[in-house]
A and B are shown apart, each in its own frame.
Chain A
Amino acid sequence: IMAATKASKEQKYDRQLRLWGDHGQESLENAHVCLINATATGTEILKNLVLPGIGAFTIVDGHTVSGEDFLCTLQNRAQAATELLQELNSDVSGNFVEESPDKLLDNDPEFFHRFTIVIGVQLPESTCLRLGSVLWSASVPFLVCKSYGLIGYMRLAVQEHTVIESHPDNALEDLRLYQPFAEFKNHIQSYDLDSMDKKDHSHTPWIIIVAKHLEKWLSEHNCQPPKNYKEKEAFRQFIREGILKNENGVPEDEENFEEAIKNVNTALNPTKIPSAVEDLFNCEQCNITSQSPSFWVMLQAVKEFALKEGNGSLPVRGTIPDMIADSQKFINLQNVYREKAMQDAAAVSKHVERLLQSVGKVCCSHCIANCKHLCWRLGKNAFFLRVVRCRSLAEEYSVDSVNKDEITSSMDNPDSEMVFYLMFRAVDRFYQQHSRYPGVYNYQVEDDISKLKLCVNSLLQEYSLNVNIKDDYIHEFCRYGAAEPHTVAAFLGGSAAQEAIKIISHQFVPFNNTFIYNAMSQTSATLQL
């Protein structure tokens, strides 16, 4: 039964396993997500987490189902939502707590410590800040979401989120042509382009071609590789001269040489450690203690590798792009890179073991095997390691640390998405003062405009924000009447669920730290507040 279940899960989750792999799926299945408030937005987010198979969810909601939510039952909203969501995926465990988050914060704030991530939807400001503080201290990631009229809002609050597998869209290849390692140098010795027959000559990988010509160039140019445009152009011409000619002196059609020429630009870049990774090397978290998270132990190990076996470089990635070549030449070349990568990963792994030992953690054989595997993955991603640090909600809201620059510079364009952020803050004030949102009932719309405007002004004054908010936006937010249309809820549901998956799996890079979606113009912006 276990095998059958595993096979059917492989099939069911096939389309997503292609994106985050079995290990990513495992982290999802070990996750316990908390959703606060099963509104349209909340349930859309949770649906998009239940379908791909998170381990468990718990809905916290003190509200009963109203006609606005759906079919009138006198059922608690948390319970109703749990039942419907549970139906979507029998692999997931669903729970609910019929309680307002404020009550839980009063009586049992540690309730929230058990979760992998907490997602708070349509929360009033006071609840949000209280919860934010508890979760920040407990290092539980907090994702705040709101659909309000035609505007969507997300805020991520996580102290430090580490990513090894960021899956960058357009990464340059790691070919080490500039400073070739010994095994590569040996490999290209086995090629003598001048003595090859036509078939072999035309099916030699372009990497070999560039390497061979670079060797010659270096010997004739005082060990200086081509650097500027003129030199690279001359180098390209040099390669072009290497193309075989027929008996009439006409160059043959050698696609592999054309590939070599085309790739000169990027292939000759020296393999530097990216500045983002250098910054990570300089973080104080690299001083390893017994409390250090594994990411930092691995990062320190990579740093030590770079200083020692790497001769100033990161571990070799080990992959090469496809290129015109016969199978054998390609595979042989690929294996040279692959084996070097494995060697480098093993060296990193040794550093990890040593570091763990130095802080009193003994490694059993299982750990060591696991470590080797993790370092193999680490080596493939060494150039793309990322750490995301969000400011806390407390920092965002405090007059002393508010990000004035970000706000005022964005508002140079008074129609930028920043205006919606400010309107959300003003609306939250309105709620604090009047215990309701503006314009919920038709008769309120007119009068609430001036009340909301007072909130806007007091907000700008309190934070000394010298910006202008057009009356149109104040009017619009009264018009919204705190409506939560499903179209906006659905968009936010998809976006927020994906960010939650990034947090849970530690793959791909989450946003930092505020995302605004404008459904009127179908535009969005990410702000760092």
Chain B
Amino acid sequence: MADTDEPMVVDGGSGRTCEWEGRWNHIKKFLERSGPFTHPDFEPSTEGLSGFCNIHVVDMDTIDLSNLNRQFLFRPKDVGRPKADVAADFINSRIPGCCVVPHFKKIQDLDETFYRQFHIIVCGLDSIVARRWMNGMLLSLLVYEDGVLDPGSIIPLIDGGTEGFKGNARVILPGMTACIDCTLELYPPQINFPMCTIASMPRLPEHCIEYVRVLLWPKETPFGDGVILDGDDPEHIQWVYQRSLERAADFHITGVTYRLTQAACATEVFKIASSAYIPLNNYMVFNDVDGLYTYTFEAERKENCSACSQVPLDLHFSPSSKLQEMLDYLTESASLQMKSPAITATVEGKNKTLYLQSVASIEQRTRPNLSKTLKELGLTDGQELAVADVTTPQTMLFRLCFTS
């Protein structure tokens, strides 16, 4: 593990066995020479930076055949193996001196002690939820002394994503620059077809597939109770495809194909597009449909960002509002966009779970609370509410403000 004081990588040539003449020639020109555009604090050095290349890779997926057209660390023989393991093996054997440690896990399976060790984190995640979680994790590592942020506790986050011919890349310095949640509204809302269209009035092949995916699959559980549709399992896709064809035939809809079915069932469905334009620097968008277009701007921090602003957020509700209204607000508000928030409060000195969805028994027990008013639940003006959700590793605190 590299020392915490020193930035990673690059050896200036110490004669070790993984070194050879000229290996670092290209990079040295940037590290050893100053220039008119380098940062004023940059000090070129010929001593180089000692330490070796240490990378940890976290990935919960296994390799699929459809990955091989672009994920170049993998070969046909690797299909089925964990991506993290194969990537590590490949690089460790190909690049002398490099040490890649794999973790075949979800990012959420690792904690602060794990993430704290790194100098930089690079994300190529496939969902906004996961990005927000990582964002929240790095924010939770920040150390403040007397209200002043200790720069040593900042771990930069490089995040990027692509969809077709479009992509973006951004640099986040937690606590200093805009975080993922600051720019949450840049992500267009997920396209959800209205239920009445899916259930009784399909018009497009996509509606037919959605019907099978969302309504038929949970009803018929074709591969067993509790078995979730796996977008990478050809048998699952084949089942959805056949049923979608049947659905389409009932309504004389053409255009259901295997390919379309597979696309609709894949988990990587979040479009990343930017439409907020402010002057320059940490957020770059790329589009090469027509020529090549890039635009780079400074994503600004949001003053009352729910993740990084440190200001407790107020929730404004009338005491006669039902808890359901609060739940709807937490999930539907553009700045919060929670998935299935669990709400707890301290009522009469005791911790009370108002509503929790992720554990069936608790969900059942707390469901009646949704139709009770905040007053009936014993909540008072100004009291603190704690909300947990998959979008953040830490519980968020809100202050309840009664409106008249």
Report which A residues bind B (CB closer than 8 A): 8, 11-19, 40, 47, 51-53, 66-68, 71-72, 87-90, 149-150, 166-169, 203, 322-323, 325-328, 330-331, 334, 439, 442, 445, 471-473, 475-476, 479-481, 483-486, 495, 498-499, 508-512, 515, 517, 520-524, 526
Indicate whether A522 sits within 8 Å of B203 (C-beta atoms), given known contacts A8-B65, A15-B69, A71-B20: no
Let me know if A509 and B35 touch, CB within 8 A.
no
Q: For window 294-332 of chain B, which residues contact chain A by CB distance below 8 Å?
A: 294, 296
Let me know if B26 and A47 touch, CB within 8 A.
no
Let me know if B69 and A486 touch, CB within 8 A.
no
- In the complex, chain B residues whose CB is within 8 Å of the CB of A471: 36
A398→B146 CA distance, assembly (Å):
66
Let me know if B36 and A524 touch, CB within 8 A.
no
A194→B286 CA distance, assembly (Å):
50
Which of A47, A326, A485, A517 contacts B27, CB < 8 Å?
A485
- CB-CB nearest in chain B for A333: B203
A322→B291 CA distance, assembly (Å):
29
Let me know if A483 and B289 touch, CB within 8 A.
no
Report which B residues bind A (CB closer than 8 A): 20-23, 25-27, 29-30, 32-37, 65-66, 68-70, 72, 75-76, 96, 164-165, 169, 201-204, 234, 251-253, 259, 262-263, 280-281, 284, 287-292, 294, 296
Let me know if A11 and B289 touch, CB within 8 A.
no
Let me know if A169 and B290 touch, CB within 8 A.
yes
Let me know if A14 and B290 touch, CB within 8 A.
no
Which of A149, A486, A495 contacts B292, CB < 8 Å?
A495
Let me know if A512 and B37 touch, CB within 8 A.
no
Let me know if A166 and B29 touch, CB within 8 A.
no
- In the complex, chain A residues whose CB is within 8 Å of the CB of B33: 442, 445, 479, 481
Smallest beta-carbon distance B29→chain A, Å: 4
Beyond A331-B252, A481-B29, A511-B291, list 12 extra A-B contacts (CB 8 Å).
A51-B69, A67-B25, A169-B289, A327-B201, A327-B203, A327-B252, A331-B203, A483-B27, A485-B30, A509-B290, A521-B280, A522-B169
- In the complex, chain A residues whose CB is within 8 Å of the CB of B165: 19, 498, 508
Indicate whether A522 sits within 8 Å of B296 (C-beta atoms), given known contacts A12-B65, A15-B70, A486-B26: yes
13 contacts between A and B (CB under 8 A): A11-B234, A12-B65, A13-B66, A14-B262, A15-B69, A16-B69, A18-B164, A18-B263, A47-B72, A52-B70, A53-B69, A472-B36, A480-B29
- In the complex, chain B residues whose CB is within 8 Å of the CB of A498: 165, 288
Let me know if A476 and B36 touch, CB within 8 A.
yes
Let me know if A12 and B26 touch, CB within 8 A.
no
A425→B188 CA distance, assembly (Å):
43
Closest 6 CB pairs of A and B: A67-B22, A472-B36, A511-B291, A330-B203, A479-B35, A509-B290
Let me know if A12 and B201 touch, CB within 8 A.
no
Let me know if A522 and B284 touch, CB within 8 A.
yes
- CB-CB nearest in chain B for A156: B291
Let me know if A510 and B291 touch, CB within 8 A.
yes
Smallest beta-carbon distance B290→chain A, Å: 4
- In the complex, chain A residues whose CB is within 8 Å of the CB of B294: 517, 522-524
Let me know if B35 and A68 touch, CB within 8 A.
no
- In the complex, chain A residues whose CB is within 8 Å of the CB of B34: 479
Which of A475, A499, A515 contacts B35, CB < 8 Å?
A475
- CB-CB nearest in chain A for B96: A71
A515→B291 CA distance, assembly (Å):
9
Smallest beta-carbon distance A166→chain B, Å: 7
Indicate whether A13 sits within 8 Å of B251 (C-beta atoms), given known contacts A167-B289, A327-B201, A442-B33: no
- In the complex, chain B residues whose CB is within 8 Å of the CB of A481: 29, 33
A168→B292 CA distance, assembly (Å):
13
- CB-CB nearest in chain B for A523: B296
- In the complex, chain B residues whose CB is within 8 Å of the CB of A521: 280-281, 296
A406→B290 CA distance, assembly (Å):
20
Which of B29, B65, B291 contacts A149, CB < 8 Å?
B29
Smallest beta-carbon distance A317→chain B, Å: 16
Which of B27, B65, B203, B292 contacts A322, CB < 8 Å?
B203
Which of B21, B27, B66 contacts A14, CB < 8 Å?
B66
Smallest beta-carbon distance A527→chain B, Å: 11
Smallest beta-carbon distance A345→chain B, Å: 17
A283→B202 CA distance, assembly (Å):
45
A517→B96 CA distance, assembly (Å):
31
Smallest beta-carbon distance A79→chain B, Å: 18
